Amino acid sequence: MLRITEFLQPSCIKLELESNKKKDVLLELLSLLQKEGSIDEAQKDHIWKDLLEREKVSSTGIGSGVAIPHKIVPGLKNTIIAFGRKKKGIPFDSTDGQPVTLLFLILGKEGSEAFHLRLLSKLARLLQQEAFREELIRSESPDQILSILHRWEEE
């Protein structure tokens, strides 16, 4: 079974993002992955530029306060996820025009495009459920975020 929790480490969860702009939030999430050792500085900068270009074409803000920026990254060893939350919301050019409070950044390894899309789809389906989003917003620790994800993945 495909599990989101296999790709999200507690060290890559930020309960209150500091940034207030889309471009800065993306960099903040990438910095979590760099500190965790999943990407290096050069990869971080390259991925950030690519994500910004992608956002210019079409926002990854899918509505209901959710954004799922994602990218296939050459040279990446494994699929990795970072999660960030901003309770007051961030302008993100979302499909519904609402600010984003929950962000999941997914980076997939080259050659795993089908897997990457399945992971993205599973996460998007979970995030369509208001009760799931509310639990993520109310959570108080990275471990609680992981527990919520694990429980909802089981249902």
The answer to whether the beta carbons of residues 12 and 22 sit under 8 Å apart is: no
The whole-number pLDDT of residue 155 equals 79
CATH code of the domain in which 64 resides: 3.40.930.10
Residue 1's pLDDT is: 72
Q: Tally Cβ neighbours within 10 Å of residue 70.
A: 20
Q: How many C-alpha atoms does 95 have within 13 Å on its Cβ side? A: 9
* CA dist., res. 145 & res. 114, Å (int): 26
Which among 46, 70, 116, 150 is annotated as catalytic? 70
Cβ contact 66:98 at 8 Å: no
- Give tens-digit pLDDT for 96-126: 999 999 999 999 999 988 999 999 999 999 9
Domain total for the chain?
1
Q: For strand 100-109 and strand 66-67, is the pairing parallel, antiparallel, or unpaired?
A: parallel
DSSP letter for 39, please. Answer: S
pLDDT of residue 28: 98
Residue 147 sits in which domain range?
A: 4-154
* Positions of the chain with pLDDT lower than 70, given as ranges: none
pTM higher than 0.75, yes or no? yes
Residue 46 bears catalytic tag: no
Give the model's pLDDT for residue 52.
Answer: 97
Q: Is the dihedral of CA 73, 2, 34, 86 positive or negative?
A: positive
For β-strands 100-109 and 70-73, DSSP reports them as parallel
